[in-house]
Amino acid sequence: MRYPNGKKYLKSEEESEVKKDHRTLLSAANRGMSLEEDINLSNDYYRDNGIALINKRPTPINIVKVDYSHGARITDAYFEKQSTTDYNGVYKGRYIDFEAKNTKSSTSFPLSNISEHQIVHLKNVIKHGGIAFFIISFQTKDEIYLLDASFVIEFYEHGDRKSIPYEVFKKEGILIRQDYTPRLHYFEAIDALYFK
Amino acid sequence: MRYPNGKKYLKSEEESEVKKDHRTLLSAANRGMSLEEDINLSNDYYRDNGIALINKRPTPINIVKVDYSHGARITDAYFEKQSTTDYNGVYKGRYIDFEAKNTKSSTSFPLSNISEHQIVHLKNVIKHGGIAFFIISFQTKDEIYLLDASFVIEFYEHGDRKSIPYEVFKKEGILIRQDYTPRLHYFEAIDALYFK
């Protein structure tokens, strides 16, 4: 493993201690931080280090009224439902597309906040040869998994229950390593799943 | 060529006549229509016919105030500059990224409305193996070209003039065929440039 400056990473006991301290601090700080923020910071790291280019799609907003008297100021608007996913981008030429969600449940991930539109979108991504997945954070366990979208689509369309059991993530997903920089080593999981 | 319902397309004289009429009407109507609208409609066609999946990124908006008294209503916000491009998506597994612009000039495309951020973004797309281009509409000529982003980057960074001469589009770009459905056959240009 190499740091951005090209210096080789030395896994000395001293550095391990520093890392552990960082992680402890981070873990405490993290409770108030969002998964979205962690992913955005990780994407900055991946972009700045030339690893991958992933961007968050802006939240779609329906604009009703704009006041042009002092520049263009939006005075009336409302949020629209995202019809695609939150993130997409490029890695080794391939198209990457994913959605990130939290759950407070420790036994399953409820499918209630995944929309039909998102399922249709992800099916299309897979159909066109793109890489599609979910990043699901089990907050009470402090575990974050990457799970290929095909499992979510399968449970959404044919599952008896309106949720995906935690065991599915354990068995079919990849546990994302949490760290300082990047916060989430989720490209390790992408490499393991899609670029072996 | 097949229609969505699987019926084979019959190029009878009658149908050709109908098409021509449509095109004449369309051409007149088009003057008031935007390039963006044409691209969005073409993207709908490409998605619905299983050819490619391209989405427009929502305009990023900075929200200042939200009124929660009658649902979530945005009462103060302003437009942010798009730091990436307007469109991206997936075609045959590859990542596609592009920006679309109009110009009223018939001799050159002015670079004044391309931002530094967009150039950086497109350089990153190319670096990671994605397909990056511009769709430029010369409105007075009723010609729309697809030009690989590398030419725009080159002119932006090393050009003497703050514009790209029309001749560059003629020589290095691909003239996009305009039609009824899709409005813009821009995937023909993508095939010719990147999938030969």
Q: State which residue of chain B sits closest to A130, comparing Cα positions.
A: B93
CA distance A87 to chain B (A): 11
Q: Verify whether the Cβ–Cβ distance B53 to A89 is below 8 Å.
A: no
User: Based on the number of CB atoms within 10 Å of its own CB, is B170 exposed (0-12), middle (13-18) or buried (19 or more)?
Assistant: exposed
Give Cα A157 distance to the centre of its chain.
22
B90 with A129: Cβ contact below 8 A: yes
- Tens digits of residue pLDDT in B155-196: 999 987 799 999 999 999 999 999 999 999 999 999 999 998
Residue A15: CA atoms inside 13 Å, Cβ hemisphere, count? 6
DSSP label at residue A71: B
Does ipTM surpass 0.85 in this model? no
- B chain contacts of residue A73, beta-carbon cutoff 8 Å: 76-78
Contact B117, B153 (CB under 8 A): no
Quote the pTM value.
Answer: 0.82
**DSSP letter, residue A40:** H
- Along the 196 residues of chain B, how does pLDDT read in single tens digits? 344 443 333 333 334 444 444 444 444 444 446 999 999 999 999 999 999 999 999 888 999 999 999 888 999 999 888 789 999 999 999 999 999 999 999 999 999 989 999 999 999 999 999 999 999 999 999 999 999 999 999 999 998 779 999 999 999 999 999 999 999 999 999 999 999 8
Cβ distance A78 to B73 less than 8 Å, yes or no, reads yes
Residues in chain B with CB shorter than 8 Å from the CB of A76 are 73-75
- Read off the tokens for A126: 């897979």
Closest CA to B39 of B170, B140, B193, B190: B190
Q: Per-residue pLDDT tens for B41-55?
A: 999 999 999 999 999
Q: What is the pLDDT of residues A99-133, one digit of tens each?
A: 999 999 999 999 998 999 999 999 999 999 999 99
Q: What is the pLDDT of residue B33?
A: 63
Say if B88 is an interface residue toward chain A (CB within 8 Å).
yes
What's the distance, CA A106 to chain centroid?
Answer: 19
The segments of chain A whose pLDDT lies below 70 read 1-33
Query: Which residues, in sequence order, are bridge partners of residue A90?
Result: A53, A95
